[in-house]
Amino acid sequence: MAFEQNRLSTEPFGAPTGALGAAQRNRVLRNTYALLALSMVPTVLGAWIGVTTGFSFFSGSPFIGLMVFMAVAFGFFFAIEKFKNSPIGVALLLGFTFFMGLMLSRLVGHVLGFSNGASLVMTAFGGTAGIFAVMATIATVSKRDFTGMGKWLFVGFLVIFVAAIANIWLQMPALTLTISALAVLIFSAFILVDLQRVVNGGETNYVTATLSVYLSVYNVFSNLLALLGIFGGDRD
């Protein structure tokens, strides 16, 4: 699948609608959707390999695992940003999504341990697809500007991130449920904000746009799956 290379924009970040030509905005949006769809392939492959091999990422020390994960993830972020205007950026993004698939495998493997695990995974996938479709439609057709929500959503993300780290030691089921439920809401809204930035011409690079949307979709799916595993998992 080929992707069109964006021209570097001279417009400032968050430029209003009309600052970029409609054809260019549509091209960035199409490429973002195409690369997002392609990124699902290495994600699924990584998750499958992780489940079949019993991949574990510092399971004995969750905090060290988190630190190593953050170091690897931010390394990918830096490299993707540096090469976002070349095919190398696309390759790095796909490599990152494979890594994220590996990281997802422990949760997927846990849910597949339920007798109805496969249906729970498909339900989470369908729910994520439905949320994405709704957010994409709103971002495309709504005249309201949702991009101002970004800073508040980032604050919400920081709150649940800190709470998730604290819960490594607290191990509170109620806090786990709260974090997952809030994460689904916050990252669903992030999908809307990030896609509308592309629609309005505020984001002109499809690699950067895909990375942002992918992270939101990934978090919606993983937290939906966690909630379904808690409430719908059947050991019989």
Give the lowest-confidence range in 7-21, 28-42, 146-160.
7-21
pLDDT of 119 higher than 90: yes
Mean pLDDT of the chain, nearest integer: 89
* pLDDT for position 56: 78
* Rounded distance between C-alpha atoms, residue 124 and residue 211, angstroms: 21
Q: Taking the CA atoms of 84, 87, 92 and 96 in sequence, report the sign of the dihedral they define.
A: positive
Share above pLDDT 70 across residues of the chain, in percent, rounded to a whole number = 89
The band of 45, judged by pLDDT with boundaries at 50, 70 and 90, is: very high
The band of 61, judged by pLDDT with boundaries at 50, 70 and 90, is: confident
Angle at 5 between CA 78 and CA 96, to 5 degrees: 35
171 φ/ψ sector (left φ>0, alpha ψ -120 to 50, else beta) = left
* Rounded distance between C-alpha atoms, residue 204 and residue 210, angstroms: 11
Closest CA to 218 of 89, 103, 57: 103
Neighbouring CB atoms inside 10 A of 158's CB total 10
* pLDDT for position 18: 42
* pLDDT for position 235: 73
Share above pLDDT 90 across residues of the chain, in percent, rounded to a whole number = 76
Written as six digits, the tokens of 56 are 């574990």
CA distances (Å), origin 174, targets 7, 181, 187, 214, 235: 48, 11, 20, 27, 21
Written as six digits, the tokens of 76 are 């990918």
The band of 156, judged by pLDDT with boundaries at 50, 70 and 90, is: very high
Tokens 């806090």 sit at which residue?
175
Alpha helices in the chain (DSSP H): 22-53, 62-82, 87-112, 117-141, 150-170, 173-199, 206-232
Give SS3 for 56.
coil
The band of 55, judged by pLDDT with boundaries at 50, 70 and 90, is: confident
The band of 58, judged by pLDDT with boundaries at 50, 70 and 90, is: low
The band of 139, judged by pLDDT with boundaries at 50, 70 and 90, is: very high
* pLDDT for position 60: 65
What distance lies between CA 197 and its chain's CA centroid? 16
* pLDDT for position 66: 85
pTM (predicted TM-score):
0.89
16 or 78: which leads in pLDDT: 78
